[in-house]
Chain A
Amino acid sequence: MAEDPQRNFRSAYYEKVGFRGVEEKKSLEILLKDNPLDVEKLCTFSQRFPLPSMYRIHVWKVQLGILPPHSDSHSLVMGYRREQYRDILEALKAIRVVHAATPQVEVYLRMFQLEAQELSRSSELAPPGEDDENFLSIAKSMEEIVEDPVDCYWLIKCFVTQFNNKFGDTVPHLPKSLEHYLNMEDSRLLTHLKSCGALTKLPYDPWFWRCFSGCLPESSLQRVWDKVISGSCKILVFVAVEILLSYKNKLMGMKRLEGILQFLANVRQFRSLEYLLQDVCMQCHRHSTSLSFKITITGSQGNGFFCSSYL
Chain B
Amino acid sequence: MAREQPHMGDLLPLLESSDLHQVEEVKDLIRDHLNQDRGAVLVNGLVDYYLETGSTEAMHFLSSVREPHDKHLLDKMNECMASRACRLHTLTLLGHVVRKEPSWIHKIARFPLLLSLLKCLKTDTDVVVLITGVLVLIILLPMIPQPGKQQLYEFFDIFGRLAAWNLKNSGRVTEVYLVHLHASVYSLFHRLYGMYPCNFVSYLRSHYSMKENMDTFEEVVKPMLEHVRIHPELVTGTQDHELDPTRWKRYEIHDIVIECAKVSLDPKEASCEEGYSSAPEHFSAPQPLRHLDCGSSPYADFHSSCGSSSSTLFSTPRQAMTSLSGMQPPYRSPQGSRHQIGELNNSCGLKDPFWTPASVCGMTTPPPSRGISPTGIAESTRSSSNFPGRIHGTLGSSKGMPSFSTPVTATPPPTLSDVFSNASRSSGTSSPPRKDNRSLEYLKPGLVRQEPISELERSHMEAVETGDDSSDNIPMTLTELSSFVEEQQSAEQEEDALMQELLKITEDPPQLPSQWGLDSPFCHTTETLTGSQAPGPVALGLSLSHECHAEATSGTDRPEGAPDLFTPIDCPVPNQQSPPAPEDEAEAPNKAVICFPSPCGAATPSYEALFDLALPKAAPHFVRRRTSEALRRAGAEEGEEAGPGPSVGPPTPPSPLEVLDRLVQQGKDAHDKALKRLPLLSKSADWTHFGAGSAPLDELHTLRSQLLLLHNQLLYERYKREQHAVRNRRLLRRIIKATALEEQNSAMKDQLNLQNMDILSLKESLQVEQQRYHQLWEDREAVVTRLHSQIRQLQQGRDEYYTKNQELQSKLLECQKMTGKLEAELQKANNVVCNMGHQLSQLSIKLTTSESMQQQMAFLNKQLLLLGEVNKLCMEELQHSGTDTSKEQQMMLASSDKELERLRLSLVTQAQHLEAAQQRIGELEAHLTKKEHLVVEQKKFLEDVKAQAKGELQASESRYQAQRRVTQALQTELLQLYSRLEVESPATGGGPVPAGGTVQPHSLSVPR
Contacts and interface: CB of A to CB of B under 8 A. Distances in A.
Contact of B952 (A76, A94, A117, A121): A76
A68 B962 CA distance: 18
Interface stretch (A82-90, A162-170, A278-286, A297-305): A82-90
A91 interface: yes
A68 B949 CA distance: 9
Contacts of B835: none
A87 B961 CA distance: 12
Contact of B969 (A76, A81, A119): A119
A87 to B, nearest CB: 6
A22 interface: no
A77 interface: yes
Interface in B928-960: 944, 947-948, 950-952, 954-956, 958-959
A30 interface: no
Contacts of B955: 68, 76-77, 80-81
Contacts of B961: 115
A115 B962 contact: yes
A95 B969 CA distance: 8
B959 A91 contact: no
Interface stretch (B163-171, B185-193, B668-676, B970-978): B970-978
B962 A73 contact: no
Given A36-B944, A115-B962, A115-B965, A95 B970 contact: yes
B915 to A, nearest CB: 45
Given A77-B955, A80-B959, A84-B962, A121 B948 contact: no
Given A87-B959, A87-B966, 18 more contacts: A36-B947, A68-B948, A70-B944, A70-B948, A73-B948, A77-B951, A80-B955, A80-B959, A83-B959, A88-B962, A88-B965, A91-B966, A92-B969, A95-B973, A114-B966, A114-B969, A121-B973, A123-B976
A35 B941 CA distance: 12
19 contacts: A68-B948, A69-B947, A70-B944, A73-B948, A77-B951, A80-B952, A84-B958, A87-B963, A88-B965, A88-B966, A91-B966, A91-B969, A94-B970, A95-B970, A95-B973, A114-B965, A117-B965, A121-B972, A122-B973
Nearest to A117: B965
B944 to A, nearest CB: 6
Contacts of A73: 948, 951-952
A87 B959 CA distance: 9
10 nearest CB pairs, A to B: A68-B951, A91-B966, A95-B973, A70-B948, A80-B955, A77-B955, A84-B959, A84-B962, A80-B959, A73-B948
Interface of B: 944, 947-948, 950-952, 954-956, 958-959, 961-963, 965-966, 968-970, 972-973, 976
Contacts, number: 69
A135 to B, nearest CB: 17
Contacts of A121: 972-973, 976
Nearest to A97: B969
Contacts of B944: 35-36, 70
Contacts of B956: 80
Contacts of B959: 80-81, 83-84, 87
Q: How large is the interface on A (under 10, 10 to 19, 20 to 34, 35 or more residues)?
A: 20 to 34
A147 interface: no
A72 interface: yes
Interface string A35-72: 11000000000000000000000000000010011101
Contacts of B969: 91-92, 95, 114, 119
Contacts of A83: 959
Interface of A: 35-36, 65, 68-70, 72-73, 76-77, 80-81, 83-84, 87-88, 90-92, 94-95, 114-115, 117, 119, 121-123
A72 B976 CA distance: 43
A72 B952 CA distance: 10
A29 B810 CA distance: 88
Contacts of A123: 976
A153 B326 CA distance: 157
Contacts of B952: 68, 73, 76-77, 80
A288 to B, nearest CB: 32
A115 B957 CA distance: 13
Nearest to A35: B944
Nearest to B943: A36
A123 B980 CA distance: 11
A90 B963 CA distance: 11
Contact of B951 (A69, A94, A114, A117): A69
A237 B972 CA distance: 44
Contacts of B948: 68, 70, 72-73
Contacts of A81: 955, 959
Contacts of A65: 954
A76 B947 CA distance: 14
A95 B970 CA distance: 7
A218 to B, nearest CB: 28
Contacts of B962: 84, 87-88, 115
A228 B962 CA distance: 26
A65 B950 CA distance: 12
A221 B958 CA distance: 29
B638 to A, nearest CB: 123
A81 B954 CA distance: 11
B937 to A, nearest CB: 14
Contacts of B958: 80, 84
A91 B954 CA distance: 21
A154 to B, nearest CB: 10
A70 B940 CA distance: 13
B970 to A, nearest CB: 6
A252 B947 CA distance: 56
Contacts of A76: 952, 955
Contacts of B965: 88, 114-115, 117
Nearest to B945: A70
A68 B973 contact: no
A37 to B, nearest CB: 11
A84 B954 CA distance: 12
A91 B964 CA distance: 11
Contacts of A69: 947, 951
Q: Which of B948, B955, B968, B972 has the most CB of A within 10 A?
A: B955
A102 B507 CA distance: 149
B966 A68 contact: no
Nearest to B958: A84
A115 B963 CA distance: 9
A212 to B, nearest CB: 28
A92 B968 CA distance: 11
Contacts of A36: 944, 947
Contacts of B976: 121, 123
A87 B952 CA distance: 18
Nearest to B970: A91
Nearest to B961: A115
A114 B963 CA distance: 10
